[in-house]
Structure formats: C-alpha cells, structure tokens
C-alpha cells in the first residue's frame, strides 16, 4: 500500500540554521534537507571553476531561502513523531501532504527513451524493455544517480562525437565521467577498454552500476575518483596507458588546462573530444587547443553550447 507523508518546513535565519538542525537531530529526526541562499551562494563562489553559468531559475528559487525540511508519515504515529521532533522548538512550521509516489518517483516522468546522433538510443533503466529502433545501439542509464543523462545539449554533442571517433578495439579516457554515459557509449560502440575519472567519489559506484546495466563488467572499464589537474599521481597513473580517444565534457576553465595535458595521454593519431563549452568561451578553448599543438578537426554547436574534436598536428 502506498504511504502518505507530510513534508514539514521550518523557516529560520541563516545564523540559526546550525542550532535548529542540531536540535532536530537531538530530538530524533533521522534526516534533514537544509536550503539556504547564503550557503548556496558560497558553494557557487567556491566551485565556480566547474561551470560557466548557473540557471536563472535555480537562483530565483533559492532567493531569500533559509529553511529546514523533514518528513513524517501522515498518520497518528507520524503526528506523535512530529510533536517529539519539535520539542523545545518555538518556530512555526508548514506541512505539505505528499504521497510516496510524489517524491520517490515523479521525477521519472521527465526521462524517456532518447535517440542521440545516428546510432545511440538512451534508455532509462525502467524503460529498458522498450523496443529499440532498427540500427540503434541501446544505452541503459539510471538517470537518478548523478549528472549525465544525455538530455543536455553539451552531452549530446559529445555523444555525437563519441559515435564518430570511437576507435574499434581501442581505449578511451573520459575525464569528468559523472554517470559514465560517455565511456559506456564508447564501449557499446566498440572500444575495448575505457577509463573514467571524476572529482566526485560518488561517481565511481554510479558509473560502475550504469556500466553493469549495459552488460559491461570491470574487466572492460576502470573508474577512479580525483582531480587530474591537481593530483600528479593520478595523472601519472592515467598516462601509463595511451588512449585513442580522450573525452572532456566539463567547462572551458577545466578544458583549457586539460588541453596542455591531453598530449601526454593520447595515442598517435588519437582525438581529444571536448564539450560543455558555452559559446561565449569557445574561442578561448580553440586558442588553447592550437597553442598546445592541436589541429581542430571539427566544431559542433547546439543550443548555445560548443564541442571540439582535435588531433595533434
């Protein structure tokens, strides 16, 4: 039977967030969602090297927000829990009724089978029994796990490049692999081995799980956590191999320094495929590629985003 839930929302001030959260946890609340505009702004500022813009809708949604959320069941037991959780807390609260379906599954409606390029067909995990169009290669993903579902223009540009430049029987390196979508696509299209790297340690298990959904075991892929730009040991480990295709679907501020490192990772004749470049930054990336010895083979554009395929001259 599907459960009904109450989302409990407490509004407070930024300076009181830690105290309020501490009281709720001490009262037995098993988990909290904290939303704070100032913390959000600080996070953006401290990590600005990982994006070129932030969605205006997200900024508007966070404006003026300082609140804590938690959940109880919408029944007598839940109401007793709520009274216990709020012991010693004099703030007013609002409650929003939810059904389990609302918050556990409703996001799935935004993900449907998606054809990309000429050959790929991205399938959410719950749609994997869907009929595959003739000539398409299925790529099964759990989009709820982490960034990288194939719906964003920059990812589609990179997937189109993966279709074109994946080396049959060769090796592929995916820098900033996220969900693993790009290197899994390369494996599905015929490369023999792929390595994925991401700064987020959670990406390791996520990428392995998505690979397994596609029948790809750890004998054909390796996923590592770390920052190639700052971790010399990780870079040295990666450079022990030479890759026919190196992928970087990140942002301009990361791709530019990577363009100086990519020559040490590429096999002779290999291709450096970079995407995630907002169109106002594309000339900077092109200049860096040429400065570091690359010839640009191809430039692709979609919805204000740019990708380059480049080869050492």
Summarised one tens digit per residue, pLDDT across range 12-27 is 988 888 889 889 988 8
Q: Distance between CA 255 and CA 292 in Å, rounded?
A: 12
On whether both 173 and 96 belong to a single domain, the answer is no
* pLDDT confidence of residue 146: 47
131 lies in some domain: no
Tokens of 140: 């099964």
On whether both 14 and 156 belong to a single domain, the answer is no
295 lies in some domain: yes
**Hey, how many other C-beta atoms are within 10 angstroms of the C-beta on 233?**
8
What pairing do the DSSP bridges indicate for beta strands 305-312 and 266-278?
antiparallel
On whether both 286 and 183 belong to a single domain, the answer is yes
Give the list of residues 6+ apart from residue 70 with CB closer than 8 angstroms, or none.
7, 8, 24, 29, 31, 32, 33, 85
SS3 166: coil
Listed residue (98, 34, 96) closest to 65, CA to CA? 34
Indicate the residue among 50, 79, 104 that finishes a domain: 104
Q: Distance between CA 99 and CA 95 in Å, rounded?
A: 13
259 lies in some domain: yes
- CATH classification at residue 160: 3.40.50.150
Which residues span the domain enclosing 73? Answer: 4-104
**66-73 β-sheet, strand order:** 33-36, 66-73, 4-11, 93-99
Q: Distance between CA 152 and CA 37 in Å, rounded?
A: 26
Instruction: Tell me the pLDDT of the chain (313 aa) as tens digits.
Output: 445 788 899 999 888 888 898 899 888 887 788 888 887 777 667 655 555 556 666 677 667 778 899 988 889 999 999 999 999 999 999 998 876 555 445 545 556 678 888 898 888 877 777 788 899 998 888 755 444 556 678 888 999 999 999 999 999 999 999 889 999 999 999 999 999 999 888 889 889 999 999 999 999 999 999 999 999 999 999 999 999 999 999 889 999 999 999 999 999 999 999 998 989 999 999 999 999 999 999 999 988 889 999 999 8
Tokens of 278: 């907002």
Tokens of 65: 């927000």
Each residue's pLDDT tens digit, 60-100 = 766 777 889 998 888 999 999 999 999 999 999 999 887 65
Query: Is residue 273 a contact partner of residue 297, using CB atoms and an 8 Å limit?
Result: no
SS3 218: coil
275 lies in some domain: yes
HSE-CB at 47 with a 13 A cutoff on CA atoms is 11
Q: Distance between CA 202 and CA 46 in Å, rounded?
A: 20
* pLDDT confidence of residue 143: 59
On whether both 262 and 170 belong to a single domain, the answer is yes
86 lies in some domain: yes
Q: Distance between CA 218 and CA 210 in Å, rounded?
A: 12
């Amino acid at each position: 039977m599907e459960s009904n839930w109450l989302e409990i929302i407490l509004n407070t001030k930024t300076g009181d967030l830690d105290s309020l959260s501490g009281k709720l946890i001490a009262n037995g609340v098993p988990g909290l969602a904290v939303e704070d505009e100032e913390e959000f702004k600080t996070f953006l500022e401290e990590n600005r090297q990982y994006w070129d813009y932030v969605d205006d809708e997200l900024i508007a949604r966070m404006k003026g927000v300082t609140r804590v959320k938690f959940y109880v069941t919408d029944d007598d037991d839940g109401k007793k829990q709520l009274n216990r959780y709020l012991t010693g807390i004099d703030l007013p609260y609002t409650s929003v009724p939810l059904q389990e379906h609302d918050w556990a599954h409703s996001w799935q409606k935004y993900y449907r089978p998606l054809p990309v390029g000429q050959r790929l067909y991205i399938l959410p995990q719950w749609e994997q029994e869907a009929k595959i169009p003739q000539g398409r290669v299925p790529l099964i993903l759990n989009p709820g796990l982490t960034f990288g579902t194939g719906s964003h223009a920059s990812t589609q540009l990179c997937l189109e490049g993966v279709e074109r430049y994946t080396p049959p029987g060769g090796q592929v390196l995916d820098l900033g692999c996220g969900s693993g979508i790009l290197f899994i696509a390369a494996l599905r299209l015929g490369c023999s081995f792929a390595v994925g790297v991401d700064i987020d340690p959670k990406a390791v298990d996520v990428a392995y799980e998505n690979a397994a959904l596609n029948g790809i075991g750890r004998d054909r892929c390796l996923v590592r956590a770390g920052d190639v730009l700052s971790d010399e040991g990780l870079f040295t480990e990666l450079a022990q191999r030479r890759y026919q295709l190196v992928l970087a679907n990140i942002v301009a501020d990361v791709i530019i320094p990577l363009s100086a490192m990519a020559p040490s990772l590429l096999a002779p004749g290999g291709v450096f495929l970079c995407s995630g470049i907002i169109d106002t930054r594309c000339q900077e990336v092109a200049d860096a590629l040429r400065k570091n010895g690359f010839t640009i083979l191809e430039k692709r554009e979609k919805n204000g985003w740019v990708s380059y395929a480049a080869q050492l001259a």
